[in-house]
A and B are shown apart, each in its own frame.
Chain A
Amino acid sequence: MEDFFFFKNSKYNLLGCLHRPNQLEKENGVGLVFCTPFAEEKLWSQRVFVNFARYLANNGYIILRFDYMGHGDSDGNFEDSDIDTRLLDINRAIEVIKERTNIKSVGILGLRLGATLAAMCSEKNNGLDFMVLWEPIVQVEKYLNQCLRSNLTTQMATYKKIKYTREEMINDLMEDRAVNIDGYMMSGQFYRQASSIDFTEMALNFSKPVFMVHISRSEKEKAPRGLVELNQKYCSLNPLSELNIVKEHPFWNDTKMYYQKAENLFHSTLKWLGRFAWQD
C-alpha cells in the first residue's frame, strides 16, 4: 500500500510516500526513513529505492521515502538547499512517519551522501533505534572534488578546452557563488558545510546498531579504509553494528544496466533488519 502526500517543513512542502504492508496485521512495528543521495545519483538510484521500499513493506516494515527541499517534486530550488536544510528535512520526515503510523521503533537508511546525512542526523536525533548506511561517503570534500570533475568534463565536451578550472570553481564556492554540477547549482553554503564533514576525524556518539554496506563489483574486494574505520567506531559503541561487502553494480552511477533491483543488497539488509531492528 502506497500513500503519496505533501508535508510541511517550515515554509516548504516536501513530497513523501509512505509504504505499508497491504494487510495491517502484517505490520511489524518497525519504520524506516530513506535518505537519498546527491544530485544525479538520486535519479539513478530512485527505482532501487522504490523497489526496496516495496520489498520491505511486503516483509512487514513501514517506509517513508521523501524528497528534500529543492529535490525531486518537493518545493524550492536545489541551489537553496544545503546540509542544514537536508538535516532538518530528515528530522521532519522522522516526525512524520511517527505521526502517521503506530511504529514502535524507527531507523534511517541512506545511500552515499544520503548515508552521510543519516549518520549526521543520528548524532543529534535521540529518537532513532538503528541505522543502515549503504556506501556512505566518509570524506565529503574528496567526493565533491570528484563532482566538480563533471563540470570539467562538460566543458571539454562543449568547448574542447577548460575555461573554468577546478581551483576557480572552489574559489567561487568559497565566495558564495554557486557552481554547476551536472545541471544542479551547488551553493557555496552547501559546499562549505559538506566539505567539512570527515568521519575519519569525528568522534561519534550514536550507540544503536548500525549496518554498513560497501557495494562492490566483486565480493573479493576489501572495504575502503574509511568505511572500516567508521565501522570500528560504531562497533565500539554497539557490538551489533557490522560492515558487509555486497556484490552489486554501483547503481547510483550511469551504468550499462537499468537497475531496478539490487537483490544482494536487499537480502543482506533485510536479513540484518530481521535480527536487530525491533529489539528494544
Chain B
Amino acid sequence: MEKVVSFNNKANQKLFGILHVPDNEAGLETRIGINLLNPGLKNRVAPNRLNVKIARKLCEIGFYVLRFDPFGIGDSEGELSCSNEPIMDLWGAIQRGIFVEDTITANSYFISEAKLDKLILIGQCGGGVTAGLTGAGDNRVDGLILIDTPFRIVSSKIDVTDAVMESYTPNQLMEEYIRDFLKFNWLQRLLPTRTNLLWLRDKLGIIGKLYRTRNDNDEENTISERFNYKLAKSLMKFMERGNNICYLFAENDFSLREFNSDFRNNFLENNLNCEKRFSIDIIKNANHIYTESEWQHALFGNIIDWLLFRGSPSAPRRENGAVEQRTLDSPSAPLRENQEFETDAPPGHCSTAPLWTTAQK
C-alpha cells in the first residue's frame, strides 16, 4: 500500500512524501524502515523514477519505505532561495547539510508512524551526502547505503578546468584524451573544423595547465581543496558507533574517483576502528542515473543483498581483510529482469547472519 503523508519541519513548513507499507503477508520479522532520500535537487521520484522502483521492490520484500521531499523540493513547502539560483551553489548547500534537519524530522515521523525497530537511510548523489551527515547526528539510524556520493563540494565559482585537474594526473589525462581521440570518429577529428579545433584547444589547454602545476608524483594521498571533511568525519563517526555503510558506485560516475582518491585512500582504509564496517560495490558500465535496465537491476540487487545479508553489524569478519569490493557485471546481478527477488541468499554471496531475518509466513 502506498499513501501520501505529510509532516511539519522545524520551520513549520509542511513536507510531503509517500509511505510504502508492506502487505502483512510479505514482511520481515523486524520492522525495518528505509528512508529513501531525494537525490540532490530532484524530488522524491528521482530521475527515471528510480526511487519509486527501488521503494516498490523493497516494499514487496517487506520493508517500510518513506520517500519525502525536503523543504523547497518537489511538493513540499518552503523555498531554497528567493530567486532562481545556480544549481552548483545549491548542490554545495546540500553538501553542507541543508536537508539534514528535515531528514531527522522525517526519521522521527517515520519511526513513530510505522513503529519501526530499525532505520536505514539510502541516498543517491546529494541524497547520499544528506544520509551520511544525518547518520552521524541521529543515533536512531542503523545503517547507510550511499549511492554515487560526491566527496568534493561544488559551487558555481569553480572553474571546470580546475575540477578536471583535481581528478587526474597529467599522464592519466593525456592517456584518456588520446584514447578518446582514437576511439571517437578519429578520422573526423583530423579535419580542421571549428568544433575539432576547439576540442583540441580545450584539451591541450587543460593538459598544459596540468603539467605546469602538477606532476605524477603528486597523486598519492593528495586531498582536494574541495574535499567535504564534514561528510568524511560524519561517516567515520557513524561507523565508530558500530554501524555499517554500503558504498555503491556506478563505474562511470565522477564520484567514484573522488571517493577513491580523497576518502578511501586517506580515511576509510587508514582507520582500524572502521574496518569491516563497510563494503564497496561498483556497478560496471553504469552511469550516474542508471539509465539502462540492467544497471538498475544490478543496483536493486546490491541494495537488497546488503539489506538482507551483508548489512549486519554482527556479521563475522571476512577472511581477507575488511573491505569487500566487487565490480559487478550487471547481467550477473542477483535480480534478473521480470523476476521477483527471492529472499534466499543469492548464489555466490556471503550469507552471514543478517541484522534482520525474513519471516516465513
Contacts and interface: CB of A to CB of B under 8 A. Distances in A.
B6 A4 contact: yes
Contacts of A46: 43, 74
Q: For this complex, into which size category does the number of interface residues on chain B fall?
A: 35 or more
Q: Which 4 A-B pairs have the closest CB atoms?
A: A183-B48, A183-B291, A4-B4, A160-B183
B74 A154 contact: no
Contacts of A17: 75
A17 B47 CA distance: 21
A252 to B, nearest CB: 14
Interface stretch (A27-35, A109-117, A206-214, A257-265): A257-265
A234 B205 CA distance: 53
5 contacts: A160-B179, A160-B180, A161-B184, A182-B291, A258-B85
Contacts of B180: 160
B45 A43 contact: yes
B45 A4 contact: no
B338 to A, nearest CB: 11
A156 B183 CA distance: 10
A84 interface: no
A34 B348 CA distance: 49
B73 interface: yes
Contacts of B249: none
A71 B41 CA distance: 19
Interface stretch (B129-137, B162-170, B282-290, B302-310): B282-290
Interface string B22-65: 00000000000000000001111111111010000000000000
Given A73-B44, A158-B252, A258-B81, 13 more contacts: A4-B75, A47-B74, A71-B49, A72-B49, A72-B52, A73-B4, A161-B184, A182-B48, A183-B292, A255-B87, A256-B87, A256-B88, A258-B84
Interface of B: 2, 4, 6, 14, 16, 18, 41-50, 52, 72-75, 79-81, 83-88, 90, 156, 179-180, 183-184, 252, 285, 287, 289-293, 296
A184 B79 CA distance: 29
Contacts of A193: none
A258 B86 contact: yes
A156 B184 contact: yes
Contacts of B48: 39-40, 182-184
A180 interface: yes
Interface in A33-84: 39-40, 43, 46-47, 50, 71-73, 78
Interface string A241-280: 0000000010000011111110000000000000000000
A151 to B, nearest CB: 8
Nearest to B182: A160
Nearest to A67: B45
Contacts of A71: 49
B154 to A, nearest CB: 12
Contacts of B81: 258, 260
A47 B75 CA distance: 7
Contacts of A170: none
A161 B183 CA distance: 7
Given A40-B47, A73-B18, A183-B290, A260 B79 contact: yes
A202 interface: no
A159 to B, nearest CB: 8
Contact of B291 (A5, A47, A180): A180
A73 B184 CA distance: 40
Contact of A4 (B16, B46, B84): B16
A261 to B, nearest CB: 7
A165 B289 CA distance: 22
Contact of A260 (B80, B252, B292): B80
Given A15-B4, A158-B285, A185 B293 contact: yes
A6 interface: yes
Nearest to B185: A161
Given A157-B252, A160-B180, A182-B47, A261 B84 contact: yes
Contacts of A249: 84
B75 A158 contact: no
Nearest to A75: B2
A7 B85 CA distance: 35
Given A180-B293, A183-B290, A257-B87, A5 B4 contact: yes
Nearest to B43: A46
A261 B72 CA distance: 11
A182 B289 contact: yes
A15 B73 CA distance: 17
Given A183-B50, A184-B48, A43 B43 contact: yes
Contact of B87 (A2, A156, A161, A258): A258
A73 B4 CA distance: 10
Given A161-B183, A182-B48, A183-B48, A73 B80 contact: no
A96 to B, nearest CB: 15
Contacts of B87: 255-258
Nearest to A248: B84
Contacts of B156: 256
A72 B69 CA distance: 13
A78 B254 CA distance: 28
B287 A158 contact: yes
A159 B284 CA distance: 11
Given A46-B74, A161-B183, A257-B84, A73 B291 contact: no
B86 A257 contact: yes
A74 B135 CA distance: 30
Nearest to A71: B49
Given A182-B48, A257-B85, A154 B42 contact: no
Contacts of B88: 256
Contacts of A154: 287, 291-292
A49 to B, nearest CB: 10
Most chain A beta-carbon contacts within 10 A, residue among B46, B84, B156: B84
